[in-house]
Amino acid sequence: MSEQIDEGLRRELQRQGVWVTSMQELYNWGRKNSIWPLQFGLACCAIEMIATAASRYDIARFGGEVFRPSPRQADLMIVAGTVTKKMAPQIVRLYNQMPDPKYVISMGACAISGGPFKEGYNVLKGIDRYIPVDVYIPGCPPRPEALLHAFMELQRKIDDQKLTGANKADHLTAAQPSEFPVPSFGKHDLEPPANPDVFHPPKIERA
């Protein structure tokens, strides 16, 4: 794999017009340059996402312009906007219906934590309570540049994923789940309020 190719030798060969690559690099190179997002937006952040896809910011430069209306064809879920408790089960279900490998960008304060509506009775306090998030973008709303930055971070992450070995990518490990339990509507809140397998909030120590 890529660790075994000596960088100096590779550059030397490249100067002679010989390209050396590995299966892993080829695979990741193909994947990271054709990330197809799922076409759905939830609130004001979605407008910024639309702007990112349009001609001025042009996410097509990064290979992400093919917004798919079906989760079956999507690689990336951009949770752009306020996730209400009414919407959360649908989002988890959509995520479950996406084929592996799949990634999630949590866009904006709302998708990260509930944002300005955190104290609201009907707003989910962060989509990472139910599905694993790869990249978070703070902001209210984040500018299109921020989304592009998140996209590039995701590309970097995909590029680093391993095909073999102990810490290979999740979608290549049979034991890693691909579907996560969908919350149901309880009496006052979603049941369960968070998926403990996914949600690991940092502990705040007060002195």
Decide if 30 contacts 168 (C-beta within 8 A). no
108 near ligand SF4, judged by CB under 6 A: yes
Angle at 140 between CA 137 and CA 144, to 5 degrees: 60
Query: Judged by CB under 8 A, which of 20, 21, 99, 138 binds another protein?
Result: 99
Query: Using CB distances below 5 to 8 A depending on partner kind, what does residue 140 bind out of ligand SF4, another protein, none?
Result: ligand SF4
CA 33/CA 29 separation, integer angstroms: 6
C-beta of 81 vs 169, nearer to ligand SF4: 81
CA 21/CA 44 separation, integer angstroms: 42
Least distance to ligand SF4 from the beta carbon of 45, Å?
A: 3
Residues touching ligand SF4: how many (CB under 6 A)? Answer: 12
Query: Judged by CB under 6 A, which of 91, 98, 109, 131 binds ligand SF4?
Result: 109
Least distance to ligand SF4 from the beta carbon of 193, Å?
A: 20
Query: Judged by CB under 6 A, which of 37, 41, 81, 144 binds ligand SF4?
Result: 81
Least distance to ligand SF4 from the beta carbon of 133, Å?
A: 15
- Smallest CA-to-CA distance from 20 within 1, 44, 37, 38 is with 1
CA 199/CA 206 separation, integer angstroms: 21
Listed ranges 43-51, 89-97, 126-134, 160-168: which one lies at the site for ligand SF4 (CB under 6 A)? 43-51
- Please state the separation of Cα 152 from the chain's center in Å: 11
Residues touching another protein: how many (CB under 8 A)? Answer: 20
Going by C-beta distance under 8 Å and a sequence separation of 6 or more, which residues neighbour residue 170? Answer: 100, 101, 176
Instruction: For residue 66, give both structure tokens.
Output: 């093919």
C-beta of 115 vs 132, nearer to ligand SF4: 115
